[in-house]
Structure 1
């Protein structure tokens, strides 16, 4: 198993940085600070690669995810609402999720290979079974895919789009779920990877089908082959490693977000972004298909 180390990047620390995604249209990295309600953009430059901050949009916290759209704006998950946000900050409401508890909010979200949005929820008090995973179709239809979840988190698809990797962080494992690309429905579910020293948080999948998982509390990103064998571990530093994605024109730079929540705020570089070149190539992010036909080839 490869043992790697990430280096800290230039942007200043946030409190709960999450959801990094590479926007190939603008050649920029997008990410959010959930507690500050901010969407950040940065370009990659230098060797070793660093992030050069380009812009910040401040909306209403909690702001849990940002994702590109086919229409040119971004999707933003704010509280229990999903908005399309134009470059000038103008919002269009696309959906309101039926959250059953006070203090519940949207959490991690990703777009599937056909342009549908999958978005999970979490209750701030982490009551067992109080969260869910939803699918938002481009026509506005909202469907509950999983209920009885506690902390709906990491999402990512295999290169052929037929397997969804999913973390309910409270279970301390990532599951592999059969995924029907034609309908966006879930099939058989099985344990993929388990953790005894932290909670799986955000994740990403590379072009070889390896799954890179941020392990909250362990200070690492860990990668696994499609059969579940360990592939690599990336030492980050701060314990609260929240998510990761492949970025850059070649999608060969792993960018990692961290948090500075509670006592962890005293750790050096907590809440900063980190990067490394792990010898793998990521998959391009599919934009939410709010205009035009959805992709037909699975990616």
Structure 2
């Protein structure tokens, strides 16, 4: 067991989508239901950038600078100074009660992001793909809470979480196509729901457990090898950062908590991982 240490104050309501990139100088994440992108400064301060949307689902660097933000129903592009350059049309009507939730980039630099129903309706979610030509297409559907995804270092496989299945699944990735989805790990009842994930340099998976007060590390064979404990229950995402990508940064939420419950919820935490993580894949557009 490893204990995580607090890095920020509990400044977020529902912190999610942690990602480290040297292109923007360190750690970014989202305060999802407030529609903001947060950046950790070298002095420990946090900058908050509103996106203009009620939801900021995820953020990733762009190959030529700046970043892409997935909002409630759109893909948006921003320059390095935080000015919005472009916003796509909403991909569905607001009345559908669907929002984007979490994702990542594939080896070709296309952005994959899944959706979910606000009511968590079974099977209402879809995984979408957004490419450098600024077009979006459906990849697969019938998901409930589409969550973390990440590729192995050799680009041959993709790990994926639909939280309601209580599984981490794995796909083969061949010529840009996802094939043969199958279970990789079943998370035991009572351990929390699998949420965001990151892949390490040895093809192990580190997965945040919402309601479980922990991050689990499963090695490439699917064996649970490490547990990072946290002093709050709702763990939402994790990523590797620091000079050698060996520090695990972890986001947490205070969604559904009373004001006097878990006073550290909404903070970012960090823990030594003992292994290097994979570098974030940037968006090609």
Name the TM-score class by shorter chain: over 0.9
Distance between the aligned counterparts of 1:10 and 1:260, measured in 2?
Answer: 14
Counterparts of 1:228-247 in structure 2, within 5 Å, are 228-247=222-241
Question: TM-score under structure 1 normalisation?
Answer: 0.89
Distance verdict in 2 for CA 1:203–1:44, change over 3 Å? farther
1:21 is matched with 19
Q: Match for residue 37 of structure 1?
A: 35
Q: CA deviation at 1:11?
A: 3.7
Q: Name the CA distance, whole Å, in 2 between partners of 1:187 and 1:230.
A: 25
Contact 2:147/2:195 (8 A) holds in 1: yes
Displacement after TM superposition at 1:216 (Å): 0.5
Kindly indicate whether residue 185 of structure 2 is the aligned counterpart of residue 193 of structure 1: yes
Alignment of 1:139-150 (within 5 A): 139-150=133-144
Change (3 A) 1:254 1:264: farther
* 1:219 and 2:218 aligned: no
Aligned pairs, number: 280
Gaps of 5+ in 1: 46-51, 291-299
Aligned match of 2:253 in 242, 252, 259? Answer: 259
1:8 corresponds to which residue? 6
For the residues of structure 1 that align with 2:106 and 2:272, how far apart are their CA atoms?
Answer: 25
**What SS class does the counterpart of residue 109 from structure 1 fall into?**
strand
For 1:296, the equivalent position in structure 2 comes to none
Whether the aligned pair in 2 keeps the contact of 1:240 and 1:264 (CA below 8 Å) is: no
Point out where structure 2 has 5 or more consecutive residues left out of the alignment: none
The 8 Å contact of residues 101 and 123 in structure 1, kept in 2 or not, is answered as: no
Does the residue aligned with 2:164 lie in a helix, a strand or coil?
helix
Change (3 A) 1:22 1:95: farther
Contact 1:130/1:149 (CA < 8 Å) preserved in 2?
Answer: yes
Trace 1:267-278 onto structure 2 (pairs within 5 A).
267-278=262-273
- How much has 1:100 moved relative to structure 2? 8.5
Indicate yes or no: 2:164 matched with 1:166. no
Q: Is the 8 A contact 1:103 1:124 kept in 2?
A: yes
Q: Measure the CA separation in 1 of the matches of 2:97 and 2:105.
A: 25
Contact 2:128 2:137 in 1 (8 A): yes
User: How big is the shift at 1:102?
Assistant: 2.6
